[in-house]
């Protein structure tokens, strides 16, 4: 029984500008029946990430290019609804880069079974790319030592809020930068940050000085722009600056402004590094077990922002760029 | 017999502007006779470095502050003209941070004897801070591997020209950026660079693309500003970006513009790092022996630009910021 599915297709490359409604096109297509070794999947949840705009722009070269007419790339949790594959049974839950489609046929190669005691959605958030990005960026690139001061921008975001908690577990003093009183309160009261800086409430540089009087040993930057520059102004000797994201670039559509204070890397013998989390893919299962353990110990919490309805996928992505989401942005179909 | 000496004193902090004549004051002072354990030194040569402007500004905190009225800090080669110190005899040549003075009295703690078969001035250039800065920045921070493409800005400068030659010895493809045909010809014909890019002759980015078709593995930056940005635009996966200097900042007096292409550190998993060469001071003697060996093998050459007359010290420093010097800037008294 062939299945008809709705899909969101890429309809424009948002280069040098924000995402617009016309960058997506809703289409309906008939799927072939799953052949030998294939499964039919029904999407239950989609996960959203700022990197998706980069994929749409098709300028980053660490992932395959996206062409007009392609099904929009994205992560999803799916249920197996028909299977000709020995590894998957009807009813199994799996996750992977399944795209913005209600149904799809897959050979199963890039699918991972949902095997956790936590909620199924955790595989897209705390146990998903978000969680392992926080882990790898902090521990493999930032390499904090107990007692270090760790400063996180975009601290109330999906990645940032996990980074801060992992740094606390590692014995660090943790300060987060976020926009607005609500987010800052959540950072301190729920996520265990030692202090929060509201970038909408006065000089960021002065607030960093106040909360990091001995300088910043590890910066975890999700933002770029003037906030990265202010953070670089306050690095301690030997600081490690982790560049994870540059959400500020999405406001203008171009790259974030260059941080003039980069020269402090000389005065303070600092290091600034970017990373692509897929480079550590072979370690993801072990990292996920650690993260799951911290959650069960009660040392790690996370937030999910769940929107509803497949037709709202484009709007849900936009929430990331308007700062509306609190924690991991998900969509329930 | 007390000695009267001329000295150049700091008379202004050139912050947010270029150096002006009025930032120095020529003074005459009578030195006390050298006491027990002290020596009287006569300066033969002074060495110049862009970092001296930073010291004058008194904003960098990796060296002791310089106050108005202090003898201008700088490196020198001196002859011992009187000695009450068991380690030094009259006629010995020494070098150290002796300052802009014709004579001085010293306890000898920071003096090193000139012991080389090369010219005495080599201790301020190829065997001095310049040489060890090139060595440490390239090998300890840039870590080139044979076959890597190494791109050097300020390539005809004192440090840059040594970096390029060391990278050639290490089996790399080496491309240099310099201003003007003469400097570029010297890079290729004398210093052994594989290619030279004249930043005054068309798009730097396009020239980098042409000469580094597989991207740049190691950047050694002495310049900052738009040239650093262009170099970052062409980094290869896993690139190491060494920030050694930012001569472009001296044009405006402020920090160099931030490199917008820093975000390529994410797409290409790159690392950008600064360093202070004094951190490896304990290794300087061993590094100097290596450099001297390369010179004797005929694998390493260097240039010295020797001006004359103590009264010309301020003008000689200025040559660094107008791009007039070719190789290490020295002054013979």
Range with lowest mean pLDDT among A247-251, B230-234, B294-298: A247-251
What phi, psi does A154 have (nearest 5°)?
60, 40
pLDDT band at A119 (very low <50, low <70, confident <90, very high): very high
For residue A197, pLDDT beyond 60:
yes
Question: Tell me, what's the pLDDT at B60?
Answer: 67
For residue B242, pLDDT beyond 70:
yes
* Mean pLDDT, range A27-42, rounded to an integer: 95
For residue A250, pLDDT beyond 70:
no
* Mean pLDDT, range B287-299, rounded to an integer: 94
Residues from chain A that touch B60, judged by Cβ atoms under 8 A, are: 267
Residue pairs between chains A and B whose CB atoms are closer than 8 Å: 101
* Encoded tokens for A171: 């014995």
Task: Name the percent of chain A lying above pLDDT 70.
Answer: 96
Instruction: Give the chain A residue whose CA is nearest to the CA of B259.
Output: A258
Instruction: Give the chain B residue whose CA is nearest to the CA of A239.
Output: B273
Question: Tell me, what's the pLDDT at A246?
Answer: 79
Question: Tell me, what's the pLDDT at B249?
Answer: 64
Cβ of B275 and A266 within 8 Å?
A: yes
Cβ of B264 and A279 within 8 Å?
A: no
Range with lowest mean pLDDT among A56-60, B13-17, B39-43: A56-60
Question: Tell me, what's the pLDDT at B322?
Answer: 85
Residues from chain B that touch A281, judged by Cβ atoms under 8 A, are: none
Question: Tell me, what's the pLDDT at A16?
Answer: 81
Cβ of B257 and A256 within 8 Å?
A: no
Question: Tell me, what's the pLDDT at B226?
Answer: 92
Range with lowest mean pLDDT among A128-137, A223-232, B246-255: B246-255
* Mean pLDDT, range B241-262, rounded to an integer: 78
Instruction: Give the chain B residue whose CA is nearest to the CA of A255.
Output: B260
Query: Sign of the CA dihedral B304, B174, B205, B240?
Result: negative
Question: Tell me, what's the pLDDT at A60?
Answer: 67
Residues from chain A that touch B215, judged by Cβ atoms under 8 A, are: none
Question: Tell me, what's the pLDDT at B254?
Answer: 63
For residue B70, pLDDT beyond 70:
yes
A158: distance to nearest CA of chain B, Å?
Answer: 18
In chain B, domain spans: 3-125+302-332, 129-277
Question: Tell me, what's the pLDDT at B256?
Answer: 66
Distance between CA atoms of residues A79 and B275, nearest Å: 53
Question: Tell me, what's the pLDDT at B37?
Answer: 95
For domain A3-125+302-332, which architecture applies? Alpha-Beta Complex (3.90)
Task: Name the percent of chain B lying above pLDDT 90.
Answer: 82
Q: Which fold has domain B129-277?
A: Rossmann fold (3.40.50)
* Mean pLDDT, range B50-79, rounded to an integer: 89
Distance between CA atoms of residues A145 and A147, nearest Å: 6
For residue A253, pLDDT beyond 60:
no
Chain B residues with CB under 8 Å of a chain A CB are: 60-62, 224, 229, 243-246, 249, 254-276, 279
Distance between CA atoms of residues A46 and A306, nearest Å: 10
Burial class (CB in 10 A: 0-12, 13-18, 19+), B1: exposed
Question: Tell me, what's the pLDDT at B1?
Answer: 61
Strand-pair partners of A4:
A30
Distance between CA atoms of residues B202 and B199, nearest Å: 7
Query: Is this complex's ipTM strictly greater than 0.85?
Result: no
Q: Taking all residues of chain A, what is their mean pLDDT, rounded to a whole number?
A: 93
Instruction: Give the chain A residue whose CA is nearest to the CA of B244.
Output: A266
Cβ of B255 and A276 within 8 Å?
A: no
Distance between CA atoms of residues A329 and A53, nearest Å: 14
Question: Tell me, what's the pLDDT at B114?
Answer: 93
Contacts of A34 (CB under 8 A, 6+ apart): A40, A82, A83, A84, A105
Question: Tell me, what's the pLDDT at B51?
Answer: 87
pLDDT band at A61 (very low <50, low <70, confident <90, very high): low
Q: What SS3 state is found at B51?
A: helix
Distance between CA atoms of residues B208 and B235, nearest Å: 10
Cβ of A267 and B224 within 8 Å?
A: no
For residue B162, pLDDT beyond 60:
yes
What angle in degrees, to the nearest 10, is found between the helix axes of A284-296 and A158-169?
70
For residue A321, pLDDT beyond 90:
no
Instruction: Give the chain A residue whose CA is nearest to the CA of B63.
Output: A267
């Amino acid at each position: 029984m062939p299945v008809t599915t709705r899909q969101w297709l890429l309809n424009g490359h948002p280069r040098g500008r924000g995402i617009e409604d016309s960058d997506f096109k809703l289409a309906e297509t008939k799927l072939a029946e799953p052949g030998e070794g294939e499964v039919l999947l029904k999407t239950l949840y989609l996960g959203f990430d700022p990197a998706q705009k980069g994929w749409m722009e098709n300028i980053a070269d660490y992932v395959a290019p996206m062409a007009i007419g392609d099904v929009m790339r994205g992560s999803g949790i799916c249920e197996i609804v028909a299977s000709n594959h020995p590894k998957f049974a009807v009813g199994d839950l799996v996750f992977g880069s399944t795209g913005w489609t209600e149904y799809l046929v897959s050979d199963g190669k890039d699918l991972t079974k949902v095997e956790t005691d936590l909620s199924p959605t955790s595989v897209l958030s705390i146990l998903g790319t978000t969680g392992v990005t926080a882990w790898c960026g902090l521990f493999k690139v930032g390499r904090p030592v107990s007692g270090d001061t760790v400063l996180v921008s975009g601290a109330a975001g999906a990645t940032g809020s996990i980074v801060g908690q992992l740094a606390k577990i590692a014995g660090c003093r943790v300060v987060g930068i976020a926009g607005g009183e609500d987010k800052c309160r959540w950072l301190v009261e729920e996520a265990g940050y030692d202090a929060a800086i509201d970038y909408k409430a006065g000089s960021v540089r002065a607030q960093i000085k106040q909360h990091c009087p001995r300088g910043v040993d590890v910066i975890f930057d999700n933002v770029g722009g003037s906030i990265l520059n202010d953070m670089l102004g306050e690095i301690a000797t030997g600081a490690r600056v982790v560049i994870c994201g540059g959400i500020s670039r999405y406001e203008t559509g171009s790259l974030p402004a260059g941080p003039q204070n980069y020269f402090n890397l000389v005065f303070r013998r600092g290091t600034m590094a970017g990373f692509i989390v897929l480079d550590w893919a072979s370690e993801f299962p072990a990292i996920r077990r650690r993260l799951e353990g911290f959650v069960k110990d009660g040392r790690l919490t996370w937030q999910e922002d769940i929107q509803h309805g497949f037709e709202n996928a484009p709007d849900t992505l936009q929430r990331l760029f308007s700062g509306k989401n609190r924690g991991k942005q998900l969509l329930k179909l």
